[in-house]
Structure 1
């Protein structure tokens, strides 16, 4: 897909998914977010950029880590995501975050102006991931770090059949590249290509718990990357797609809910001093 059109699909798709996102993914993404925060090792007073901030699940944690003397700039392509993130931050009395709608491949920010750059589960959606990583590198101060979390290999993510299930009904335009960066050493190579050194990679398995079929369906269809395509389904198509997806995760049924395997990759890279 042409990059400009892909960005437009992503923007409006996540606008559609925004209201369902936290209920769908807050618990499920926490292992990746925990590892990301551990590897970032943020310190009080630091200035941090977060790209693809979504509804602010990680943003608030970043803001708390850098404290009142620190500053966070949180960006996302989706207005819907930004609106929810701003509301959540206001509700939690988080005052050291500036939310801005911005393309991760074209950051309207100064060179060498951040102590850390972070992207939690957003790099899979960027048309040119290396360009996004180059932008994260550009705005970092020399010697500082970028930390990125993504999904791992398709074969290790039990929910992955959602893409072909949706694509054979309406093109979702997020597959097959969704798992590209998480396959093999691709993310490490991308970070190196973007100019990072001392690259560290952590790959690990996790279990995604859903309490019942309804929540599993909501996460897969309404709260995730295929939300825009899903909005085009009529009622009968939705019923058929829902059943096909539940059939695809039937092996992970656990009582009334599901324990679906997943894999995350978290990486850290350092911007050279010269």
Structure 2
């Protein structure tokens, strides 16, 4: 693994290990359409990739019941610890949590009926390769269901990238690969999936804390690159970013677009 890739992975771990208050109403609202789209049935075997605090995995476990099985995998021990506490609180016996890098999963062919990935597919280093793996992991007729964001989503992050570019720092757009329904359709078709369905939904909201917006971007795997700057330039960039957030705000705050894609496909 290259040094740059190691840095990227470590930043993901550091970022998500620090999110001790990850669960909120937004996270649960965001997971609901994905679970509904999959139409789970009792007895199914489910893999939840990048399970985080287990929001989707726990909901799935309740539906598939004691005859079913759910495996949630995540690279962050902090996220998994939160998930485990919730599993124990719910007294669920049909769910297992595993620390693993979503880029390096290796399960037997035809191991699962459903594979979920909620809001995390953009963190994969090679989406096409991962989709091919998931296709192999699924039983014939099995379902993949993932959510991602439009290429133009996360207005505060777009502004962050634009400001960073002025200082010579290129921050990749994580939503570029699967940023619209056509891109999702194309990649899934290339893998061999059929019955592809993409549902869009707006989860945007008004930001009222520019400092938090800066911290969320600068400490993420798609933003930490700004720390390459000398301290004075970094401070100047932060000041300009916060000033732009305030300048672009209305009485309600800064509109943060979260146009989202919920994607369903079936293995032929």
Equivalence for 1:55: 53
Q: Deviations over 1:81-106 (max 9, x none)?
A: 33443344334444432222333343
Query: Any idea what the Cα deviations from partners look like across 1:119-149, whole Å, max 9, x if unmatched?
Result: 1111112121011111111111111110010
Q: Does 1:240 align with 2:236?
A: yes
* Higher relative contact order structure (alpha carbons within 8 Å, sequence separation ≥ 6): 1
**Greater shift in the superposed pair: 260-269 or 246-255:** 246-255
Say if 1:70 and 1:232 are closer, same or farther in 2 by CA, change over 3 A. farther
Contact 1:133/1:191 (8 A) holds in 2: yes
Deviates more, 1:158-167 or 1:137-146: 158-167
Distance 1:235 1:70 in 2: 53
Query: What TM-score, normalized by structure 1, do the two folds share?
Result: 0.81
**Residue 12 of structure 2 corresponds to residue 14 of structure 1:** yes
Larger radius of gyration: 2
Match of 1:207 in 2: 204
Cα contact 1:77–1:103 (8 A) shared by 2: yes
Which deviates more from structure 2 when the two are superposed, residues 158-167 or residues 186-195? Answer: 158-167
What number of residue pairs does the alignment pair up? 266
Corresponding residue number in structure 2 for 1:89: 87
- 1:70: how far off? 2.3
Cross-structure match for 1:262? 258
Matches within 5 A, 1:122-161: 122-154=120-152, 156-159=153-156, 160-161=158-159
Task: Tell me, in whole angstroms, the C-alpha distance in 2 between the residues paired with 1:112 and 1:130.
Answer: 19
Q: Tell me how far apart the structure 2 counterparts of residues 167 and 28 of structure 1 sit (CA, whole Å).
A: 30
RMSD: 3.1
Gaps of 5+ in 2: none
Question: Structure 2 length normalisation: TM-score?
Answer: 0.82
1:179 aligned counterpart, secondary structure: coil
Q: 1:5 to 1:146 in 2, by over 3 A?
A: farther
CA distance 1:225–1:165, shift in 2 (3 Å): farther
Query: Do structure 1's residue 191 and structure 2's residue 188 form an aligned pair?
Result: yes
User: SS where residue 42 of structure 2 aligns?
Assistant: coil
In structure 2, the residue matched to 1:112 is: 110
Q: Which residue of the partner structure matches residue 249 of structure 1? A: 245
Change (3 A) 1:118 1:184: closer
